[in-house]
């Protein structure tokens, strides 16, 4: 033990563990595992325990199971320890679903910890385990969890995913007042350290949804200086989306969050997670590339107790009233206040070719070029959208490269389909804005008189789109050139005018 508690010798043993053979490694495990609990609480030797866990996870699953089992009965105490908590967290991350549940159940009550094998043979949530229990039992579990969690919260040990899991379980059974006390305690800078995990994001969304105006303000101020980093996080971005969806004080949002997003707009727009922030502002009606798993924190974040139906009803009513401002007005103010809409358009103009051809960028340039859902961006920066339409058309007007080293934008898979969508998409113009449709700009700049050249390959989708484009005049003009290609069999006839209304360009009353 003197060796493992030494800074130098602990590192030597870690190296030996990494490079020794299977027999020697088994011998090291046999000698050190009985002392694992003491080692986990030492500032130097706990690094060796972490290495043992990693090595066991890679080569010796049986050793990993034994090491995790040795933590049983000490999980709550270790998570209050500044050093040992890292060991429990690492073991939790390496555990399978059943082992994770066994570690978490130690927060529920001594009975759960003692009879963990009898509780459930499959992973399930605490609210399900207590479904058949009397109210007194649920109160007992809740009180025990409160006493176990409070010292951890007071010490601020909130970075670990196992803590986030326990907190979500707590919120799933806690009454409104107890849940409010917890959310009030973690709102602010503590919450920012939690939203990098799935469960942490659930809690973050819950804090935003159920928190008071004061608590929301604390969360928003805590994001100052971290907004760009959070926006590019797989789960943190969902909390940002919730904030932008719910908080009515757009002046405060622009000051503390949107300004930072604008200053790092290129980094965020090109990030697979960060782009969701902008996509959601432009078109909140769509999933915007967010998978079902990624959406789970938003949908399941508001966990309330099922002990009192009346309490549940009140909580739901509060959530409905959490935001009073019209969503369209809020989005417009956010896109205008910090020049976010203008910067998004400028970004798309500057990187139009790259965004059109990319699997991630195509959605962003599409939403910007069409003006967002309900034409919100047309009201913010109409001249910029017209410039973007022309920029896309100018790229399309470039001739094919003679050596075919660089694929033309019309022949790129993602770009051809994005341009097709823009041709077909109705233009949602405000009453005070007059502009040509994207189909008109592209036709006049690029395709008029050149349809034969682009009638095969991926570019064919662009040409055929003019048969069903929303702009009646462009469609009529294009059909004169497309009809011979259709008659010759080079193009399919997708222009059944009975399926396309002869409506003019749409305008929205604002």
Average pLDDT (473-488) is 92
Higher-scoring residue by pLDDT: 499, 490: 490
pLDDT band for position 1 (cuts 50, 70, 90): low
pLDDT at position 316 is: 43
Model pLDDT for residues 421-433, shown as the tens digit of each residue: 999 988 888 888 8
pLDDT at position 11 is: 86
Residue 144: closest CA among 188, 187, 186, 113: 113
Lowest mean pLDDT of 2-11, 54-63, 305-314, 492-501, name the range: 305-314
Q: Does 297 have pLDDT greater than 60?
A: no
The CA distance from 160 to 163, in Å, is 6
pLDDT at position 426 is: 87
Continuous H helices in 322-455: 327-337, 340-350, 352-357, 361-370, 376-380, 382-397, 413-424, 438-442
pLDDT at position 119 is: 55
* The dihedral sign for the CA sequence 290, 291, 297, 303: positive
Q: Is 325 exposed, middle or buried (0-12, 13-18, 19+ CB in 10 A)?
A: middle
Lowest mean pLDDT of 187-191, 223-227, 274-278, 315-319, name the range: 315-319
Average pLDDT (253-269) is 96
Average pLDDT (15-19) is 84
CB contact set of 450 (below 8 Å; sequence gap of 6+) = none
pLDDT at position 224 is: 92
CB contact set of 216 (below 8 Å; sequence gap of 6+) = 187, 207, 208, 243, 246, 247
> In terms of C-beta distances under 8 Å and separation of at least 24 residues, what long-range contacts does 430-434 make, across chains too?
430/375, 430/378, 430/379, 430/382, 430/507, 430/508, 430/509, 430/510, 431/507, 431/508, 431/509, 431/510, 432/510, 433/378, 433/379, 433/382
Contact 437, 482 (CB under 8 A): no
Compute the CA torsion angle 107, 110, 112, 116 (nearest 10 deg): 110
Q: Does 299 have pLDDT greater than 50?
A: no
Contact 259, 220 (CB under 8 A): no
Task: Map 51-89 to HEC letters.
Answer: HHHHHHHHHCHHHHHHHHHHCCCCHHHHHCCCCHHHHHH
Continuous H helices in 195-274: 198-210, 213-222, 227-231, 236-246, 250-253, 259-263, 265-269
Instruction: Provide Rg for the chain, Cα atoms.
Output: 29
pLDDT at position 404 is: 61
Q: Does 473 have pLDDT greater than 90?
A: yes
- CATH class for the region spanning 174-326: mainly alpha
pLDDT band for position 129 (cuts 50, 70, 90): confident
Average pLDDT (138-165) is 92
Average pLDDT in the chain: 85
E strand or H helix at 461: helix 460-465
Domain ranges of the chain: 174-326, 339-508
pLDDT at position 505 is: 45
Average pLDDT (26-40) is 88
Report which listed range, 4-18, 46-60, 129-143, 491-505, is most confident. Answer: 46-60
Average pLDDT (322-341) is 89
Residue 252: closest CA among 315, 186, 338: 338
Contact 131, 119 (CB under 8 A): no
Lowest mean pLDDT of 104-113, 283-292, 297-306, 378-387, name the range: 297-306
pLDDT band for position 176 (cuts 50, 70, 90): confident
Q: What is the DSSP string of 313-339?
A: HHHHHHHHTT--S-HHHHHHHHHHHTS
Average pLDDT (148-163) is 93
The CA distance from 180 to 265, in Å, is 35
Q: Does 307 have pLDDT greater than 80?
A: no
Q: Residue 508 forms beta bridges with which residues?
A: 430
Cα diameter, the chain: 89
Residue with tokens 């002869």, as numbered in its chain:
502
Average pLDDT (154-167) is 93
Residue 318: both structure tokens together:
């509060």
pLDDT at position 41 is: 93
pLDDT at position 503 is: 39
Look up residue 156 and give its DSSP letter. T
Contact 304, 315 (CB under 8 A): yes
Q: Does 313 have pLDDT greater than 50?
A: no
Q: What is the pTM of this model?
A: 0.85
Model pLDDT for residues 46-76, shown as the tens digit of each residue: 999 999 999 888 887 888 999 999 999 999 9
Residue with tokens 């622009």, as numbered in its chain:
254
The CA distance from 26 to 48, in Å, is 15
pLDDT at position 379 is: 93
pLDDT at position 311 is: 46
pLDDT band for position 295 (cuts 50, 70, 90): very low
Residue 489: left (phi > 0), alpha (psi -120 to 50), or beta? Answer: left
Q: Residue 506 forms beta bridges with which residues?
A: 428
């Amino acid at each position: 033990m003197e060796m493992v508690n030494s800074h130098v010798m602990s590192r030597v043993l870690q190296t030996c563990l990494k490079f020794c053979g299977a027999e020697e490694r088994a011998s090291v495990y046999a000698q050190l595992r009985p002392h694992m609990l003491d080692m986990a609480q030492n500032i130097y030797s706990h690094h060796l325990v972490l290495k043992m866990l990693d090595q066991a996870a890679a080569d010796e699953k049986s050793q990993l199971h034994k090491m995790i089992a040795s933590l049983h009965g000490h999980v709550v105490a270790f998570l209050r320890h500044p050093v040992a908590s890292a060991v429990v967290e690492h073991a939790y991350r390496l555990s399978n679903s059943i082992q994770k549940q066994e570690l978490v159940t130690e927060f529920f009550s001594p009975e759960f910890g003692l009879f963990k094998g009898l509780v459930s043979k499959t992973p399930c949530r605490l609210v399900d385990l207590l479904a058949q229990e009397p109210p007194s039992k649920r109160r007992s579990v809740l009180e025990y969890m409160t006493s176990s969690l409070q010292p951890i919260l007071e010490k601020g040990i909130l970075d670990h995913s196992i803590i986030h899991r326990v907190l979500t379980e707590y919120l799933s059974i806690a009454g409104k007042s107890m849940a409010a006390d917890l959310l009030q305690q973690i709102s602010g800078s503590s919450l920012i350290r939690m939203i990098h995990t799935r469960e942490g994001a659930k809690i973050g969304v819950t804090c935003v949804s159920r928190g008071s105006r004061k608590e929301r303000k604390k969360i928003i101020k805590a994001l100052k200086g971290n907004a760009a980093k959070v926006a590019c996080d797989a789960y943190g971005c969902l909390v940002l989306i919730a904030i932008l969806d719910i908080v009515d004080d757009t002046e405060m949002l622009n000051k503390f969050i949107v300004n930072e997003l604008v200053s790092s707009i290129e980094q965020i727009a090109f990030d697979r997670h960060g782009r969701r922030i902008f996509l959601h502002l432009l078109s909140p009606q769509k999933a915007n590339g967010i998978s079902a798993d990624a959406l789970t924190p938003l949908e399941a974040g508001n966990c309330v107790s099922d002990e009192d139906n009346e309490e549940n009803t009140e909580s739901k009513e509060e959530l409905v009233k959490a935001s009073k401002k019209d969503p369209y007005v809020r989005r417009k103010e956010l896109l205008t206040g910090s020049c976010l809409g203008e910067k998004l358009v400028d970004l798309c103009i500057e990187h139009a070719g790259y965004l059109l051809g990319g699997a991630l960028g195509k959605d962003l340039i599409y939403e910007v070029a069409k003006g967002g859902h309900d034409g919100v961006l047309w009201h913010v920066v109409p001249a910029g959208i017209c410039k973007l339409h022309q920029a896309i058309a100018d790229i399309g007007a470039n001739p094919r490269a003679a050596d075919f080293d660089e694929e033309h934008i019309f022949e790129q898979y993602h770009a051809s389909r994005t341009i097709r969508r823009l041709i077909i998409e109705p233009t949602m113009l405000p009453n005070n804005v007059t502009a040509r449709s994207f189909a008109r700009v592209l036709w006049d700049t690029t395709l008029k008189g050149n349809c034969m050249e682009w009638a095969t390959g991926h570019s064919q989708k662009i040409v055929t789109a003019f048969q069903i484009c929303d702009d009646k005049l462009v469609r009529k003009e294009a059909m004169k050139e497309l009809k011979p290609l259709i008659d010759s069999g080079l193009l399919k006839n997708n222009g059944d005018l009975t399926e396309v209304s002869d409506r003019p360009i749409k305008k929205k009353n604002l």
